[in-house]
Amino acid sequence: MTGLTVLHRELATDTARFDRTFILTERPESGSGGPGGIEYAADLFEETTARWPADSLLALLRAAVEQPDTPIGAVELADRPAPDRSAPAH
């Protein structure tokens, strides 16, 4: 259609569409990556449990840049141990 402009917009909701979703956005023009986020079902996860995989990924990426000769298996992934999965979140 002539003159029609279409834009993609994310709508914020109070409901998680999945148990846990990681949103990563690349913006090459910025030269420094882009925004990211975590959407999670609050009845299934506490915030620290939902964030743990993202914190671990950041630690791995930092180590890869700062210590490129370190084997991946030797990288400390987070400042704290993995969450206890045997206990329910709430």
Position 77, amino acid: L
Q: How many residues does the chain have?
A: 90
What is this structure's pTM? 0.57
Mean pLDDT of all residues belonging to the chain:
77
Task: Give the Cα separation of 50 and 42 in Å (integer).
Answer: 9
Q: State whether residue 50 is helix, strand or coil.
A: helix
19, pLDDT greater than 60: yes
pLDDT in tens, 24-60: 777 777 666 677 788 888 888 888 888 888 888 888 8
User: Pick the residue with more confidence: 33 or 65?
Assistant: 65
Q: Give the whole-angstrom CA distance, residue 12 versus residue 53.
A: 22
Cα distance between residue 17 and residue 35, in whole Å: 19
